[in-house]
Amino acid sequence: MTDRSLDLLIDEVVLGLASEADTARLEELAARDPEVAARLASARDRFAPLDETADDLPLPDGFWDRLAPRLDVSEEKPPAPERETAGAEVIDLAPLRARLTRWRYAAVTGIAASLLLACLLGWSLLMPSDPLVVAVLLDDRGEAIALVESGPDNTTRVTLLERPDVPSGQVMQVWTKPEDDGPPVSLGLLSTGLSRVLSVEGLPEPHPAQLYEITFEPAGGSPTNLPTGPILGKGLAKEPVT
């Protein structure tokens, strides 16, 4: 027995925590070894003030038998922490965190899908699904520079076939002539220099041989509401074969 294990045994005996067998063994050692007897007496003197402040209560029957297995734990493998303790409930939050992660992912995915659907729906509403007429606009060299598709309500999709060199301070404006002997009517501006869908109200349905053209106008559009600038391209509408 090492000095440390002997000191622990002495403390347990003095405090009344040792089993009857360990107490008898220590008493036997003290009777044979004066040094053990002196250490036992010193421990009793050290714990005497504590004894005077506490009532002497016997341990419950079988206490040591229940306590010993809990103390017999391997040093290499510490006991797993108790999930539940008396008077308290420990809640495992891992499943909750997993559910919250799935809910968050589902919410973000749903929002993204909703936005995409809204964009596609908006674009489909703006674009003529069944164009009534189609026109290919040609420049002065006879090269196609834009494709125009117009529906019964004069919603018109203008698809540029090449990126035009728009003069500084000017903008592209799209025109049509609903009536052969009438004035040109503006369908709108291509202010970004890119293809777009234009919508105008109050015009009759487009018809075959209707004129479409794109001109360069001052920023903000023609000041006279009639074409004033150079023509980028023009063409006559045709009815598509369906």
Q: Say whether pLDDT at 59 is over 60.
A: yes
Whole-angstrom distance, CA of residue 234 vs CA of residue 211: 7
Whether residue 146 sits in one domain with residue 108? no
Q: Residue 66 corresponds to which tokens in the numbers above?
A: 């229940």
CA angle at 177 for the pair 162 and 175, rounded to the nearest 5°: 35
Whether residue 174 sits in one domain with residue 107? no
Q: Which residues contact 165 (CB under 8 A, 6 or more apart)?
A: none
The rounded mean pLDDT for the chain is: 78
Identify which of 59, 73, 74 has the alpha carbon closest to the alpha carbon of residue 23.
Answer: 59
Beta bridge partners of 234: 138, 213
Whether residue 142 sits in one domain with residue 181? yes
| Residue 57 within a domain | no
Whether residue 183 sits in one domain with residue 224? yes
Range 96-125 average pLDDT: 56
Whether residue 232 sits in one domain with residue 178? yes
pLDDT band at 23, cuts 50/70/90?
Answer: confident
Most confident of 57-66, 74-83, 163-172: 163-172
Tokens 């509403």 -> residue: 125
Task: State which of 127, 150, 176 marks the end of a domain.
Answer: 127
pTM higher than 0.85 for the full model? no
Least confident of 79-88, 93-102, 168-177: 79-88
| Residue 228 within a domain | yes
CATH number at residue 229: 2.60.40
Q: Say whether pLDDT at 165 is over 70.
A: yes
Whether residue 220 sits in one domain with residue 152? yes
What Rg do the C-alpha atoms of the chain give, in angstroms?
48
Tokens 């002495």 -> residue: 10
Whether residue 163 sits in one domain with residue 104? no
Whole-angstrom distance, CA of residue 40 vs CA of residue 10: 6
pLDDT band at 75, cuts 50/70/90?
Answer: very low
Which residue segment(s) compose the domain that 109 sits in?
96-127
Task: Judge contact between 51 and 61, C-beta under 8 A.
Answer: no
Q: What is the pLDDT of residue 87?
A: 47
Q: Say whether pLDDT at 139 is over 90.
A: yes
Range 165-175 average pLDDT: 93
Helix (H) or strand (E) holding 121: helix 94-126
- How many domains, the chain? 3
pLDDT band at 27, cuts 50/70/90?
Answer: confident
Range 6-32 average pLDDT: 82
Whether residue 186 sits in one domain with residue 170? yes
